């Protein structure tokens, strides 16, 4: 069961230009991001960074194929030193951030310098996962995601992400969009996308407080017609379970399990994504040790 209630306004809307050369997706996820920030007990810049990472991962997942998990991993030098977000083509996501206690004065955007990695894994396939990594060159996630798509996947792209905070540092709004050139796009259409990059965050911000992604797409495609392809509700979902944690504990080895038993008389494991805690009492840990020895 999700720890964050579904909200009808949290959704993405996907579209395609009438000529089939440009695709776009707009996302409204205010309540989802606010719920995730509350779940992790964060406010201010860390909450905003979590929101940006969640929007970014969902934008990537929106054009992924079924049964594919997208993991966005951002390692940075700003107030947040790492963000990890999992997102799926079904519109679900989970994520968390690790803050930095000694962040240097920012010379770039909020994220600072660092690396941005995208891992694509097919959940029911034995194929090797695809990973693309690029440096953070501006410290602004929207611009650096645009660079990622061009550099790592050779897709001319323009990204807008807007996460606004209220007076108390909570999430007031969270939205974003992605526009990409498809194979067959003319050089003029590609230049049009590239020319938009500098003002896309401003456009996302204008619609940040609204809950109608279709209106945002209409603004983006104001000079051309487009067709709506999909509208999907977004939500929080974590794949952790007691069974998964049990399997993970068996992999740490008998010596480590025995150390937990002698020092703590049991074990407790907390999921970083949803804060769910799984406790193993003494007799349960003894049984794990016994079964591990028999493997």
Higher pLDDT, residue 252 or 23: 23
Residue 198 is classified by DSSP as G
Task: Count structural domains, the chain.
Answer: 2
The Cα 162–Cα 174 span in angstroms is: 6
CA 259 to chain centre: 36
Same domain, 121 and 71: yes
| Cα 63 off chain centre by | 14
pLDDT band at 242 (very low <50, low <70, confident <90, very high): very high
Work out the average pLDDT over 16-21: 88
DSSP assignment of 110-169: TT-SEEEEEEEEETT--SPPEEEEEE-SSS-HHHHHHHHHHHHH---EEEEEEEEE-TTS
For residues 251 and 165, membership in a common domain is answered with: no
- In this structure, the answer to whether residues 282 and 136 fall within a common structural domain is no
State the average pLDDT over residues 194-223. 69
Range of the domain at 254: 242-293
Please indicate, yes or no, if residue 1 is contained in any of the structural domains: no
Q: How confident is the model at residue 137 (pLDDT cuts 50, 70, 90)?
A: very high
More confident residue, 113 or 194: 113
pLDDT band at 2 (very low <50, low <70, confident <90, very high): low
The predicted pLDDT at position 201 comes to: 53
Query: Is the residue at 215 inside a domain?
Result: yes
Residues 248 and 225 placed together within one structural domain of the fold: no
pLDDT for 33: 97
* pLDDT given at position 1: 47
211 shares its domain with 264: no
Residues 28 and 173 in one domain: yes
Domain containing 289 — which CATH number?
3.90.1280.10
More confident residue, 108 or 54: 54
Are 137 and 278 members of one domain?
Answer: no
2 in a structural domain:
no
User: Mean pLDDT, the chain, as a whole number?
Assistant: 88
- For residue 89, being part of any structural domain is answered with yes
Higher pLDDT, 188 or 200: 188
Question: What is the SS3 assignment for 63?
Answer: coil
Residues 222 and 266 in one domain: no
Whether 4 maps to a domain, the answer reads no
Residue where a domain stops, chosen among 236, 259, 280: 236
- Whether 208 shows a pLDDT value over 90: the answer reads no
Query: Using 50, 70 and 90 to split pLDDT, how confident is the model at 266?
Result: confident
Query: Is 249 inside any structural domain?
Result: yes
Cα-based distances in Å from 214 to 31, 70, 156, 181: 18, 24, 22, 19
DSSP strand pairing (92-99 vs 235-236): parallel
pLDDT tens per residue, range 64-93: 987 899 999 999 999 999 999 999 999 999
The per-residue pLDDT for 27 is: 94
Q: Report the percentage of the chain scoring pLDDT > 70.
A: 88
Global pTM reads 0.90
Answer yes or no: is 3 within a domain.
no
Tokens of 268: 């407790």
In percent, how much of the chain has pLDDT > 90?
56
Single residue among 210, 236, 262 that ends a domain in this structure: 236
Mean pLDDT for the stretch of residues 95-117: 86
Looking at the predicted structure, is the pLDDT value of residue 221 above 90?
Answer: no
Q: What pLDDT, on a 0 to 100 scale, did the predictor assign at position 34?
A: 97
Instruction: Please check whether residues 24 and 125 belong to one and the same domain.
Output: yes
Q: How does residue 131 score in pLDDT terms, banded at 50, 70 and 90?
A: very high
Same domain, 26 and 95: yes
Q: Single out the residue in 236, 251, 282 at which a domain terminates.
A: 236
Same domain, 283 and 213: no
Whether residues 88 and 129 share a domain: the answer is yes
Q: What is the pLDDT of residue 136?
A: 96
Asked if the structure places residue 198 within a domain, the reply is yes
What mean pLDDT do residues 198-202 have?
A: 58
């Amino acid at each position: 069961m999700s720890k964050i209630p579904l909200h009808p306004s949290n959704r993405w809307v996907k579209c395609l230009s009438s000529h089939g050369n440009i695709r776009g997706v707009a996302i409204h996820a205010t309540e989802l991001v606010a719920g995730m920030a509350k779940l992790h007990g964060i406010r201010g810049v860390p909450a905003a960074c979590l929101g940006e990472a969640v929007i970014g991962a969902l934008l990537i997942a929106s054009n992924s194929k079924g049964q594919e998990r997208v993991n966005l991993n951002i390692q940075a030098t700003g107030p947040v030193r790492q963000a990890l977000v999992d997102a799926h083509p079904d519109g679900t996501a989970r994520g968390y951030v690790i803050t930095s206690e000694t962040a240097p004065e920012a010379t770039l955007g909020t994220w600072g310098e660092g690396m941005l990695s995208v891992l694509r894994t097919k959940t029911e396939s034995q194929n090797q996962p695809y990973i693309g990594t690029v440096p953070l060159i501006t410290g602004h996630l929207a611009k650096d995601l645009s660079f990622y798509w061009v550099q790592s996947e050779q897709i001319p792209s323009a990204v807008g992400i807007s996460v606004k905070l209220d007076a108390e540092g909570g999430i007031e709004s969270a939205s974003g969009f992605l526009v990409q050139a498809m194979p067959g796009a003319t050089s003029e259409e590609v230049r049009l996308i590239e020319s938009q990059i500098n003002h896309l965050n401003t456009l996302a911000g204008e619609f940040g407080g609204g809950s109608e992604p279709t209106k945002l797409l209409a603004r983006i495609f104001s000079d051309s017609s487009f067709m709506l392809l999909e509208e999907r509700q977004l939500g929080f979902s974590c794949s952790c379970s007691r069974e998964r944690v049990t399997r993970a504990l068996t992999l740490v080895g008998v010596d480590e399990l025995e150390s937990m038993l002698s020092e703590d008389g049991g074990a407790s494991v907390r999921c970083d994504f949803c804060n769910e805690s799984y406790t193993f009492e003494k007799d349960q840990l003894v049984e794990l040790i016994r079964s591990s020895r028999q493997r």
